[in-house]
Amino acid sequence: MNGSVTIGVDLAKEVFALCVLNEHGTVLERRVLRRQAFERWAMQAPSGTIAMESCSSAHYWGRWFAARGHLVRLIAPEFVAPFRKGGKNDAADAEAIAIAARQPTMRFVTIKTVEQQAILSWHRAREGWIEERTALVNRLRGLLAEFGISLARSRSTLQAALPLLVEDTRLPAGVR
């Protein structure tokens, strides 16, 4: 295989599917590999374009392949879907990724640096904590409503009411 191949990789935590296309778009190889086998295969991957959906671990693998001289293309999943033939499975996804990467008008995602990913990790964690806090406040408001206690929609209102709720006789002892 020469440098004009396009390799579509469907990333996962444990099983990776790949599809190698030649310069004419003909499938040269299809494989489904477990993580360790994929890592061994990647060390000897033919030079060319490596394309992946921009999903978890894509930036890691993008940096990994780029450091080894490959041209790496990350594609947003919604841009890959129109190129999928047949049903959604790992092999079909890998081929669709490879085909999508060969499109002249395709828009690609820039590979994030480790530093950029670290900052995004903090943002994602914070966003998750806020969602969890909001869900907890709403859940508590709903439970309190079951006992006739209605509180305004705000975390501060609930927080201010908690000391009073511990003594509220409308609530059964188990709830208090």
| Mean pLDDT of successive 10-residue stretches along the chain, which has 176 residues | 81 92 93 93 91 93 94 96 87 94 96 95 96 94 92 89 90 88
Across the beta sheet with 71-75, the strand order is 27-34, 15-21, 5-10, 48-53, 71-75
CA distances from 60 to 11, 42, 49, 54, 113 (A): 11, 13, 16, 10, 9
Among candidates 175, 1, 4, which has minimal Cα distance to 101?
A: 4
As a whole number of angstroms, the distance between CA 89 and CA 24 comes to: 24
Cβ proximity of 55 and 9 under 8 Å: no
Can you name the residues that pair with 52 across neighbouring β-strands?
Answer: 9, 74
Name the CATH superfamily, with its identifier, for domain 5-111: ATPase, nucleotide binding domain (3.30.420.40)
Of 95, 103, 70, 74, the C-alpha closest to 3 is: 70
Residue-range domain boundaries for the chain: 5-111, 115-165
Give the global pTM. Answer: 0.77
Strands 5-10 and 15-21: antiparallel
For helices 155-165 and 114-145, angle between their N-to-C axes, nearest 10 degrees: 50
- Please state, in angstroms and rounded to a whole number, the distance separating the CA atoms of residues 144 and 171: 8
Residue type, 175: V
Q: Quick one: pLDDT at residue 139?
A: 94
